Amino acid sequence: MYVDPATFAVERDRVLYGEWFCVGRLSDLGLHEPRRVAVVDVVGESVLVTSDEQGALHAAYNVCRHRGSQLFMAEPGAEPTCAAAGSLRCPYHSWTYGLDGSLLRAPHADLEETDRPAFALKPVAVDEWAGFVFVHLGTPATTLAEAVARPTLTLANYAMGDLVSGLRFTYEVAANYKVVAENYNECYHCGPVHPELTRLVPAFGAGGTDIDWDNGVPHREGAWTFTMTGTTTRAPLPALDEAEQTRHKGELVHPNLMLSASADHVAAFVLLPQSVDRTRIECLLLFHSSAVADPGFDPSDAGDLWDLVNKQDWAICESVQRGMSSRSYTHGWFAPMEDDSADIRRWLLPRLDGEAGGFEAQVQGAVAPRPPESSDD
């Protein structure tokens, strides 16, 4: 499940293509304005996301219906690109499509008007939540709103749709995306891996036990946000309640969006799997637009801490990936305090529809069992 390319291919087809997948921020992709097109990669599939004349979102595979040329040339795994567009023209034979994917012109093809709908671009489901764009390459069984119901509730006061990117980090991590998500979803590792972070949030040093995650995690005395000093000259986000002005919240939106909310900013991590053992990670620090517009805006106090913590995480994740690739490794064992990190298996395995075989039984036996009692032998 973590190291085998063939198993990853099944997971990609059934899960990553079969769930709402975050491709980035609406504004960063240029889609907050009408008549725009963004070319994004979804685990090797090139997808066009457009905003039409009225600003409505559409998405389609980046494949011309004539002879299969890409409308916009993009290698697998390519980083997103965006451009202004009034229509979408194939560079091979000039078949031209509307921003909604409909076929507008097919030179010398002698197509009847009634034939044109059959040659529209192959559509992809698309939706927006809190300023993030999601696509779905299958037939959605749930709406995006249903998929993000929990963070919609717990992070409502952060008004993420109104925030803008103030700083971006891009990382290439030699680990399976599930290793990264599981690491994010537990704090058993925080004491050994993140000494600077645990000085800022002492509860993390205790392994994350007895923490009220729904209401947020308190900082040390005198600190109230995720920066190198625990403070900043930026004001708290305007709609936060009293607890959120001094506490930290986090959410994981399966399969590929991690959110870490501080009083003055939100760190968003978009996981972009490249292969079974490679993940590109876009870390976006989101701030209130008024803070970014300030001539003195300097996000480095938050950026320095996040870059430090991120690199600590990615290094240990890469170590886990190398260890899992050892011939000696079978499967892990979860202590009670890290039980939440098994969530990705509980989420993932039913969606594989039995493809995981006997691994599901192994997982159930690996999640927080009691250590074997000593015998008299």
Distance of CA 71 to the CA centre of its chain: 26
| Structure letter (DSSP) for residue 12 | I
Is 82 part of a structural domain of the chain? yes
Q: Residue 197 corresponds to which tokens in the numbers above? A: 């972070």
Pairing verdict, β 81-84 and 88-89: unpaired
For residue 354, pLDDT over 70 is answered with no
Is 166 part of a structural domain of the chain? yes
> Does one domain contain both 261 and 305?
yes
Is 348 part of a structural domain of the chain? no
For residue 328, pLDDT over 50 is answered with yes
> Does one domain contain both 173 and 132?
no
The rounded distance, in Å, linking the Cα atoms of 203 and 26 is 35
The rounded distance, in Å, linking the Cα atoms of 199 and 191 is 9
> Does one domain contain both 128 and 183?
no
Count other Cβ atoms within 10 Å, centred on residue 222: 8
> Does one domain contain both 304 and 164?
yes
Residue ending a domain, among 296, 324, 352, is: 324
End-to-end CA distance of the chain: 36
Residue ending a domain, among 145, 170, 192, is: 145
CATH for 87? 2.102.10.10
Is 71 part of a structural domain of the chain? yes
Is 186 part of a structural domain of the chain? yes
For residue 54, pLDDT over 50 is answered with yes
Number of domains present in the structure of the chain: 2
> Does one domain contain both 181 and 314?
yes
> Does one domain contain both 191 and 278?
yes
Count other Cβ atoms within 10 Å, centred on residue 214: 9
The rounded distance, in Å, linking the Cα atoms of 146 and 360 is 26
What's the chain's length in residues? 377
> Does one domain contain both 105 and 205?
no
The rounded distance, in Å, linking the Cα atoms of 289 and 297 is 11
Q: What is the pLDDT of residue 340?
A: 67
Confidence category of residue 344, pLDDT binned at 50, 70, 90: confident
Q: What is the pLDDT of residue 31?
A: 97
Distance of CA 62 to the CA centre of its chain: 21
Q: What is the pLDDT of residue 187?
A: 86
The rounded distance, in Å, linking the Cα atoms of 161 and 286 is 10
Express each pLDDT in 19-35 by its tens digit.
Answer: 999 999 999 999 999 99
Is 320 part of a structural domain of the chain? yes
How far, CA to CA in Å, does 78 sit from each of 39, 138, 285?
9, 21, 22
Express each pLDDT in 68-108 by its tens digit.
Answer: 999 999 999 999 999 999 999 999 999 999 999 999 999 99
> Angle CA(48)–CA(53)–CA(58) in degrees, nearest 5?
30
> Does one domain contain both 92 and 169?
no
Is 111 part of a structural domain of the chain? yes
Confidence category of residue 361, pLDDT binned at 50, 70, 90: very low
Express each pLDDT in 314-327 by its tens digit.
Answer: 999 999 999 999 99
Distance of CA 114 to the CA centre of its chain: 40
Residue ending a domain, among 85, 110, 145, is: 145
Express each pLDDT in 82-92 by its tens digit.
Answer: 999 999 999 99
For residue 273, pLDDT over 90 is answered with yes
**Which domain does 134 fall in, by range?**
21-145
How far, CA to CA in Å, does 256 sit from each of 17, 26, 275, 366?
12, 16, 14, 24
> Does one domain contain both 263 and 217?
yes
> Does one domain contain both 139 and 153?
no
Give helix 177-184 / helix 343-351 axis angle, nearest 10°: 140
| Three-class DSSP category at 183 | helix
pTM: 0.92
Q: What is the pLDDT of residue 18?
A: 96
Express each pLDDT in 210-226 by its tens digit.
Answer: 677 788 999 999 999 99
> Does one domain contain both 294 and 153?
yes
> Does one domain contain both 113 and 159?
no
Is 362 part of a structural domain of the chain? no
